[in-house]
Chain A
Amino acid sequence: MSRLGDIAVKVRSKNAGPFWLTVDIFCGSQSVFAQVCTSITSARIADVFEAEIAVVDRYEMDSLNVLKFSLPRPAVQGTRQDRDMHGASFAALVAELEV
Chain B
Amino acid sequence: MVKVLIPSGALGLGYDRKALARGISEKPDIIAIDGGSTDSGPHYLGTGTSKYARGSTKAEWRELMEARAEAGVPLIIGTAGTCGADSAVDWLVDITREIVAETGMKVKLAVLKSGQRQDALIDAFGQGKITPLKPAPELSEDVIASCSNIVALAGAEQIQAALETGADIVIAGRTTDTAIISALPLSRGCHAGGAWHGAKIGECGALATTAPNSGTILIEFDAEGFTISPMGAEARATPHTVSAHMLYENSNPDILYEPGGYLDVSAAKYEALDDRRVRVSGSEWVVSDRYTVKLEGARLAGFQTVSLVTVRDPRYVANIRTWCDDIAIKATEKARARVGEGFEIELRLIGLDATLGELDTQAKAGTEVGVLGLVTAPTESLSREVAKVLNPYLLHHPLTEEEEMPTFAFPFSPPEVSRGAVYEFCLNHVLELEDLMEAFTLTIEELGQ
Whether the Cβ atoms of A63 and B243 lie closer than 8 Å is yes
Whether A70 touches B251, Cβ cut-off 8 Å, given contacts A19-B135, A76-B424, is yes
With both chains docked as a complex, state the minimum distance between the C-beta of A94 and any C-beta of chain B, in angstroms: 11
B355 touches A83 (CB 8 A): yes
Q: Bound state CA distance, A68 and B360, in angstroms?
A: 21
Q: A72-B134, A83-B355, A93-B359 are in contact. List 20 more A-B contacts (CB 8 A).
A: A15-B39, A17-B428, A18-B425, A19-B136, A20-B251, A22-B249, A48-B359, A49-B359, A66-B247, A72-B135, A76-B137, A76-B425, A77-B41, A79-B424, A79-B425, A80-B301, A80-B422, A93-B356, A93-B360, A93-B361
Chain A residues contacting B379 (CB-CB under 8 Å) are: none
Specify which of A17, A50, A64, A83 is in contact with B240 (CB 8 Å cutoff).
A64
A68–B296 Cα distance when bound, in Å, is 26
Task: Kindly provide the distance from the CB of B227 to the nearest chain A CB, expressed in whole angstroms.
Answer: 19
* Chain B positions within 8 Å of A30 at CB level: none
Contact among A18, A59, A74 for B428, CB-based, below 8 A: A18
Q: Does B341 contact A (CB under 8 A)?
A: no
Task: Decide if B38 touches A74 in the complex (CB within 8 Å).
Answer: no
Partner of B356, one of A15, A57, A79, A90: A90
Asked if B253 lies at the interface with its beta carbon under 8 angstroms from chain A, I say yes
Give chain A's interface residue range (CB within 8 Å of chain B). 35 or more
**Do residues A77 and B42 form an inter-chain contact, with CB atoms below 8 A?**
yes
Are A78 and B359 in touch, CB under 8 angstroms? no
Does chain A have a CB within 8 A of B40? Answer: yes
Interface: B244 (CB within 8 A): yes
A85 (CB) vs chain B CBs: closest residue: B41
Which chain A residues in 20-76 approach chain B with CB under 8 Å?
20, 22, 24, 26, 48-50, 55, 57, 59, 61, 63-64, 66, 68, 70, 72, 74, 76
State how many residues of chain B have any CB contact under 8 Å with chain A.
45
Determine whether the beta carbon of A57 is less than 8 Å from that of B344: no
- Establish whether residues A64 and B250, one from each chain, have CB atoms under 8 Å apart when the complex forms: no
Q: Report if B248 contacts A (CB, 8 A).
A: yes
| B374: Cβ under 8 A from any A Cβ | yes
Flag whether B191 is at the interface (Cβ < 8 A).
no
Measuring CB to CB, which residues of chain B are less than 8 angstroms from any residue of chain A?
Answer: 38-43, 133-137, 240, 243-244, 247-254, 296, 301-302, 304, 344, 346, 348, 354-362, 374, 376, 422-425, 428
Knowing A66-B247, A80-B344, A83-B354, the reply to whether A57 touches B252 (Cβ < 8 A) is: yes
Assuming the contacts A66-B244, A78-B423, A84-B355, asked whether A16 and B251 have C-beta atoms less than 8 A apart, the reply is: yes
| A16 with B359: CB separation less than 8 A | no
* Docked pose: A82 CA to B135 CA in angstroms: 16
Which residues from B are CB-within-8-Å of A80? 301-302, 304, 344, 346, 374, 376, 422, 424
Cβ-defined contact, A18 with B359, below 8 A = no
Give chain B residues whose Cβ lies under 8 Å from the Cβ of A49: 359
Bound together, the chains give a CA A48 to CA B244 distance in angstroms of: 25
B41 touches A78 (CB 8 A): yes
Query: Contact at B40–A85, with CB atoms within 8 Å?
Result: yes
